[in-house]
Every structure is written in C-alpha cells, then in structure tokens.
Chain A
Amino acid sequence: MAGFDKVVSSYEEAMAGLEDNMTVIAGGFGLCGIPENLIAEIKRKGTKDLTVVSNNCGVDDFGLGVLLPDRQIKKIVASYVGENAEFERQMMSGELEVELTPQGTLAEKMRAGGAGIPAFFTATGYGTPVAEGKEEREFDGRKYIMEESIKGDFAIVKAWKADRYGNLVFRKTARNFNPMAATAGKITVVEVEEIVEPGELDPDQIHTPGIYVDRLIQGTFEKRIEQRTIRTADNS
C-alpha cells in the first residue's frame, strides 16, 4: 500500500487486527449487500465475543449466522433477527445478548457515529420498551428520546465497484446500511466486485468517498437470495 491506495492482497490482511471483544459494524439488509467473504474470514479467524451491529443476523449457513455455532458473537444490535434456529436457541438460553433497535434509529446511530455526533433525539420508540432508561425531551410539544451513536472497532462493508483510492459505488438496494457502516468504523474494510483505477469512476457518482475506507479487496460473491419471488412474463 502506498499513498491513497487502499487495496490489500488477501482476506487475512483485510481483517488483520480484529481481536476478541471488539465491536464490528456490518452493512447489509437481510442477505442483500452483505460483506459475505469478510464474514467468512471472521469465522476462519475464530475471533470470539464480538459485539456485532447489523440490521439482521443472516441465516443458519450464510451471512452473520455462520458466526453463531462457535459462539463468536456475544452481543448483537439489530432491528430484526431470528431467521435461523441457532440464533433462536442462543437468544432463548441467554447465551447471546440481543439489543433490538428500530431500523431507522440503527441507521442514524451509525450515521451519527461516523459524523462525530454523540447522540440525537428521535420520536421513534418514545413510550415503548426501546425508551427504557433513555433521556426524554420535549420539542415543540412532542416527546423524543435520546439515542446514542455507535462506532465500531471495525466496519465491514460490501460495495459494487471501487477505485484503488476506496471511492465506492453501490448497486441497487444492496446499498442499504453499507454507506453508514463505512463511516462508523475505526478501521473500515470494504469488499467489492470490481476494483478500477482512480479516474475511472465519475467523481459526481461516488456514493462513499475514499476518506472513510481503510482497506479494500476484490472478491467473488454468492449473493444468496432470501425470498425468491418471480412473476411469469405474461402475468403482468
């Protein structure tokens, strides 16, 4: 690596420095736009007792779900979970701590974390179990709760294309939580389908500027579909 070149040569190098008990922020929604090879590398490394911040926790044999059997996740912060049997077992037995967070609040916690904003007020969750133990304030006659932002020791991100400087372009709804996750890691690691030379991406079309990206690697992706729904061509 030299200058602004963020490209690393192996997944081992991409996740170097990840240690037990760290916090990892992951992009993705369901199985869409997840950093699947970076997750697989965490499984291979065997890092334990991680706090994982992600909208969901994958399925039994794909995505973040693969970190469950060896108890690599101590705590998960997510909005919607339980798409897999091992997750359910660990949650019910108390082995896995689950902090349910509304989806918009979770996105904003990451965004704020990356933007140097320690906390914010939102009406989301006021008067619900989510508000327990949180400061309440009234603005213009409406009640809000204070939510603290989130930062990660690592952020793991999946983008479509990048140039070697780490400027990122996402594809379709695989964007989801990835741009916010990218801003919120002390070390942000991004895997992409294609790396191009600086200058090949239009500066006006960059979704995430390279300043947020520390390490970049090109991978191949399974892109598993969770709910395959199709129509027949004549049934429109």
Chain B
Amino acid sequence: MALSREQIAMRVAQELQDGYYVNLGIGIPTLVANYVPQGMEVMLQSENGLLGMGQFPTEDELDADMINAGKQTVTATTGASIFDSAESFAMIRGGHVDLTVLGAFEVDVNGNIASYMIPGKLIKGMGGAMDLVAGADNIIVTMTHASKHGDSKLLPECTLPLTGKGCIKKVLTDLAFIEIKEGKFHLLERAPGVSVEEIVKLTSGEMVVPEHVPEMQF
C-alpha cells in the first residue's frame, strides 16, 4: 500500500534528532510537526522570521501579528525568537538549519529539483524555496512517486524549470525512501506491501536496487 500523507510525515519524523532546528514546507512537510518523537526537542523555523513555531492559537491567543510562512496564525514556543527576513535567510542560506523538508513536482538523478513553476499555468512564485534548497545540506523532499496518470516524478532530468541544481540527496515518496548520489537514485526502503518491481516501474531515472530492500517500519 502506498503511504498516506500522514505516514509520509511519520517516516520523515524518524529522521529528526534531538536538538534539531527544522524548516517544514507547506503541505505534507507541515504534518511532520505532529509526529516529533516523545521526549525529543525540535525547534521549527518559519522563514518569515520565527524560530520556535508553536501550535495554532486558541481564540483568545489569536494575534494578527503572529503568523507562519504559510500565513497561518500561530503561537511561539517557550524559548522562541523572532527576527527580520534578512536574519531569517542568513540562517537558511548560511546552513544553520539542520533539516529542511519540502515538496516538489520533480526530482532527478543529479539532485535537481523543480517545485515552483509549471509553464503555461499561473506562476505564483518561489517564495523561500530557492533559498532553502540552496542553503541546506540536509533536505528531504516529500512527494508522490508518480502523477495520477502514472508518470514518474523521479526523472533522468527534470523537465520543469528548476528550483535548485544538484542540491537534493533524499526523497521520500508514497512508495519509497530514496537517496541520490553519483548521478543515480538508490532505493533505501519501500513502503509496507509495495514491491521493488512496482517502484522500479514508476521510477524513470536510473536506480540502484540492492539485493534486500527493507520495508519502512512505523
């Protein structure tokens, strides 16, 4: 069975470490915050200028001056800090954020990522995504393995305009956990009940498949 959105978030959460500063993109990555392992301390960075993003406010706590990068009203955790946008991106660009999780349309064997623009459709902009992929060493891309029509999103070469070049090393799809190195995809884990053959069929870029591919554990 392909992973649900929640299961993708749960698997990403297993990559968290105590004391990590983490930036979570909009969509599935946001859900990772719900699965931080018990007893582990993680601080969420929101690129509009908040380190230590908390949960949504109650009606009483609601404050128009307190939002996250998705423009949702939020609270700050104990020990949070607030700063301007240049400071926020100094953190990101300077490689100080330990883990970045974001979505994508396509990823290729050279670690290129396309995530912000489909030519001919309305172009809304890259927001902070280009800075995030250029600045972070540890990035996990979350996306579905293939489109609804069965077209692979793991490609020999991205077809859409790039968000970043050669910057992605790990991809978690609804079918597989994949590492990118030396110009190839490497299959690390498969979703429970999903066969290696199924993953190979839906991966159009070259993929190295070890003899034993473990199932993800939840």
Query: How close is B57's CB to chain A, nearest CB, in angstroms?
Result: 6
Contacts of A130 in B (CB 8 A): 126, 130
Contact in complex: B67, A236 (CB < 8 Å): no
Interface size on A, residues (CB 8 A): 59
Contacts of B123 in A (CB 8 A): 82, 91, 98, 100
Contact in complex: A127, B165 (CB < 8 Å): yes
Question: Does chain A have a CB within 8 A of B66?
Answer: yes
Contact in complex: A30, B67 (CB < 8 Å): yes
Contact in complex: A102, B130 (CB < 8 Å): yes
Binds A, one of B43-51, B140-148, B182-190: B43-51
**Binary contact readout B48-68 vs A (1 if CB under 8 angstroms, 0 otherwise):** 111000011111101111111
Query: How close is A30's CB to chain B, nearest CB, in angstroms?
Result: 4
Cα of A26 to Cα of B47 in the assembled complex, Å: 18
Contacts of A161 in B (CB 8 A): none
Question: Does chain B have a CB within 8 A of A47?
Answer: no
Q: List the A residue with the shortest CB-CB distance to B119.
A: A129
Question: Does chain A have a CB within 8 A of B27?
Answer: no
Contact in complex: A230, B73 (CB < 8 Å): yes
Interface SS of chain A: helix, strand, loop or mixed?
A: loop
Contact in complex: B84, A104 (CB < 8 Å): no
Contact in complex: B131, A102 (CB < 8 Å): yes
Q: List the B residue with the shortest CB-CB distance to A88.
A: B122
Contacts of B48 in A (CB 8 A): 29-30, 32, 173, 176
Question: Does chain A have a CB within 8 A of B214?
Answer: no
Contact in complex: B71, A30 (CB < 8 Å): yes
B86-137 contacts to A (CB < 8 Å)? 86, 88-89, 92-93, 112, 117, 122-131, 134-135
Contact in complex: A224, B64 (CB < 8 Å): yes
Q: Of residues A32, A82, A178, A227, which shows the largest number of chain B Cβ atoms within 10 Å of its Cβ?
A: A32
Which of B67, B124, B125 meets A227, CB within 8 Å? B67
Question: Does chain B have a CB within 8 A of A175?
Answer: yes
Cα of A55 to Cα of B67 in the assembled complex, Å: 15
Contact in complex: A175, B131 (CB < 8 Å): no
Contact in complex: B165, A236 (CB < 8 Å): no
Question: Does chain A have a CB within 8 A of B70?
Answer: yes
Contact in complex: B71, A103 (CB < 8 Å): no
Binds B, one of A4-12, A16-24, A118-126, A212-220: A118-126
Cα of A128 to Cα of B125 in the assembled complex, Å: 13
Question: Does chain B have a CB within 8 A of A105?
Answer: yes
Cα of A226 to Cα of B82 in the assembled complex, Å: 20
Interface SS of chain B: helix, strand, loop or mixed?
A: loop
Contact in complex: B67, A29 (CB < 8 Å): yes
Question: Does chain B have a CB within 8 A of A231?
Answer: yes
Question: Does chain A have a CB within 8 A of B192?
Answer: no
Binds A, one of B1-9, B156-164, B200-208: B156-164
Binds B, one of A38-46, A107-115, A197-205: A107-115
Contact in complex: A229, B74 (CB < 8 Å): yes
Query: How close is B61's CB to chain A, nearest CB, in angstroms?
Result: 8
Question: Does chain B have a CB within 8 A of A179?
Answer: yes
Contact in complex: B86, A79 (CB < 8 Å): no
Contact in complex: A105, B49 (CB < 8 Å): no
Contact in complex: B47, A172 (CB < 8 Å): no
Contact in complex: B163, A229 (CB < 8 Å): no
Q: List the B residue with the shortest CB-CB distance to A183.
A: B86
Contact in complex: B84, A79 (CB < 8 Å): no
Cα of A174 to Cα of B161 in the assembled complex, Å: 32
Question: Does chain B have a CB within 8 A of A93?
Answer: no
**Binary contact readout B165-191 vs A (1 if CB under 8 angstroms, 0 otherwise):** 110000000000000000000000000
Query: How close is A41's CB to chain B, nearest CB, in angstroms?
Result: 21
Contact in complex: B86, A111 (CB < 8 Å): yes
Question: Does chain A have a CB within 8 A of B85?
Answer: yes
Q: Of residues A30, A98, A105, A230, which shows the largest number of chain B Cβ atoms within 10 Å of its Cβ?
A: A230
The 4 A-B pairs at the shortest CB distance, nearest first, are namely A104-B89, A127-B165, A104-B131, A223-B64
Give chain A's interface residues, CB within 8 Å of chain B. Answer: 29-33, 55, 78-82, 88, 91-92, 98, 100, 102-108, 110-111, 122-130, 160, 170-180, 207, 223-233, 236
